[in-house]
């Protein structure tokens, strides 16, 4: 679907620059509200949650005003993980949920993404309808029909209980010491509480958001501090979330990084062993070849979708499978949650450790990662860059593929969330992969500037 505003993960950009401005978000709330009223009736209500960015207050108010002008009631959750908004949208019987977040991006960015009443990403048809409504003049319902706003005071407790309920009844974490990196983001209250209430000893870090420090040298995109803390605390493992809590990266007791591919492997092997896998695993074109090989050796089907949790979810649904995700740590356990949740995914891994008595390093030992290097090449501010038809880039890719001679993979992909082209090279030799990735990134950068 070609859209003007909606990208792969909602609408996202730098605060104060179109479309991430107060006036646009006001009109977006109104447009979405009118679409929801037309689709679901005049009793429509929506849920709004946000991460901890300072601009979240601004856009929460703008959305609230837009929905009210459209005659839609609003339930305000405050700072909550994205998957919590998805769950509470369904639990509270709202027609849609809205998240104000730019996920793993710095605080200067923000975005808006929508969930359906079933707690899944809003379908393309309704997104297109919202975009169409944005082209119409903004109107107001009659004063007596204006939407009302109220706060859900027990939202945190509701989601804590939900997360605990995703592990098998009776599972306890009493013998585990866990370091939890909250990225100064939306999980800062919920995640430590979940692990503590299940019995773990928790060391919570980066849990003091100030509106400006979300994702700053912390969280799933910067796990070095987590690794150091795990070693210093002699913890059993560490868990790092991104700013809105839909991604998780882990660290074993020795401080070694465990990424989304390895998390998928641990979950797939554990579920395969106890009969709970229900089919195969969906990765993406970016998933490490080592994951594919490890699953093949165990007789577990594996397929690659395009990048993006929306695509992973779609492929899982089409096949009736439940487990998939991305190397970035966005993991889908559809028998536990309707969308990717970092807390739920971490709990699934930790339950497998508790059940088997193995360490995280032992659980990941069965997967040998293939060396992979990804370099982000600036796209000159163009977030809709197209690589098709660029002869210079095609020739550069061909040269690298020829040198790899079938021993690896080359992936070029414009990011759906940032104005960059992700250049990835994968192969058996780490030094060769690094050299080829740097060469290709230089060629792509020159071609984009030409």
The residues annotated as belonging to the active site are 103
Using CA atoms, how far residue 439 sits from 105, 446, 450, in Å, is: 27, 11, 17
Beta carbons within 8 Å of 17's beta carbon, 6+ residues apart: none
Backbone phi and psi for residue 363, each to the nearest 5 degrees, phi listed first: -70, -30
Contact 107, 58 (CB under 8 A): no
Helix ranges restricted to H, 246-366: 260-274, 289-297, 309-319, 342-356, 360-364
At 192 the three-state DSSP class reads helix
Instruction: Specify the DSSP class assigned to residue 5.
Output: S
Q: Which long-range contacts (CB under 8 A, 24 or more apart) does 425-429 make?
A: 425/372, 425/373, 425/400, 426/288, 426/289, 426/370, 426/371, 426/372, 426/373, 427/370, 427/371, 428/370, 428/371, 429/371
Torsion of CA 291, 292, 298, 300, to 10 degrees: 110
Distance between CA atoms of 436 and 393, rounded to whole angstroms?
A: 14
Cα–Cα separations (whole angstroms), residue 269 to 128, 165, 238, 359: 40, 22, 21, 14
Number of H helices, E strands in the chain: 14, 18
Residue 151 host element (H or E): strand 149-151
Q: Count of alpha carbons within 13 Å of 372, Cβ hemisphere only?
A: 20
Beta-strand relationship, 248-252 and 257-258: antiparallel
Please identify which residue in the block is written with the tokens 């994968």: 426
């Amino acid at each position: 679907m070609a859209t003007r505003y909606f990208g792969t993960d909602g609408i996202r950009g730098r605060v104060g620059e179109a479309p991430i401005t107060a006036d646009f978000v006001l009109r977006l709330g109104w447009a979405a509200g009118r679409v929801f009223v037309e689709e679901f009736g005049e009793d429509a209500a929506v849920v709004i949650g946000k991460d901890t960015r300072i601009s979240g207050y601004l856009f929460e108010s703008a959305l609230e005003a837009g929905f009210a002008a459209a005659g839609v009631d609003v339930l305000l959750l405050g700072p909550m993980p994205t998957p919590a908004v998805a769950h509470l949208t369904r639990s509270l019987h709202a027609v849609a949920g809205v998240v104000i977040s730019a996920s793993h991006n710095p605080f200067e960015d923000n975005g808006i993404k929508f969930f359906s009443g079933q707690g899944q990403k809003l379908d393309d048809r309704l997104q297109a309808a919202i975009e169409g409504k944005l082209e119409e003049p903004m109107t107001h319902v009659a004063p007596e029909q204006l939407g009302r706003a109220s706060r859900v005071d027990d939202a945190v407790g509701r989601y804590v209980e939900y997360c605990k309920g995703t592990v098998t009844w009776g599972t306890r974490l009493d013998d585990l010491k866990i370091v939890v990196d909250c990225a100064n983001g939306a999980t800062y209250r919920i995640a430590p509480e979940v692990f503590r209430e299940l019995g773990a000893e928790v060391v919570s870090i980066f849990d003091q958001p100030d509106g400006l420090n979300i994702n700053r040298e912390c969280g799933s995109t910067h796990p070095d501090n987590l690794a150091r803390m795990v070693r210093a605390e002699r913890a059993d493992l560490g868990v790092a979330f991104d700013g809105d809590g839909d991604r998780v990266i882990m660290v074993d007791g020795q401080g070694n990084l465990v990424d989304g591919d390895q998390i998928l492997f641990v979950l797939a092997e554990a579920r395969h062993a106890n009969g709970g896998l229900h089919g195969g695993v969906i990765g993406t074109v970016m998933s490490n070849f080592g994951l594919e090989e490890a699953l093949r050796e165990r007789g577990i089907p594996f397929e690659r979708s395009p990048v993006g949790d929306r695509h992973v979810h779609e492929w899982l649904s089409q096949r009736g499978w439940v487990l998939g995700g991305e190397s970035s740590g966005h993991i889908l356990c559809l028998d536990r949650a309707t969308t990717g949740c970092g807390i739920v995914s971490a709990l699934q891994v930790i339950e497998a450790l508790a059940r088997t008595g193995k360490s995280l390093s032992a659980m990941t030992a069965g997967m040998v990662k293939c060396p992979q290097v990804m370099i982000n090449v600036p796209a000159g501010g163009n977030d809709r860059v197209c690589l098709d038809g660029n002869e210079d880039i095609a020739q550069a890719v061909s040269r690298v593929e020829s040198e790899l001679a079938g021993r690896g993979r080359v992936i070029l992909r414009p990011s759906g969330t940032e104005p960059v082209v992700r250049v990835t090279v994968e192969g058996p030799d780490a030094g060769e992969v690094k050299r080829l990735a740097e060469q290709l990134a230089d060629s792509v950068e020159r071609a984009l500037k030409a």
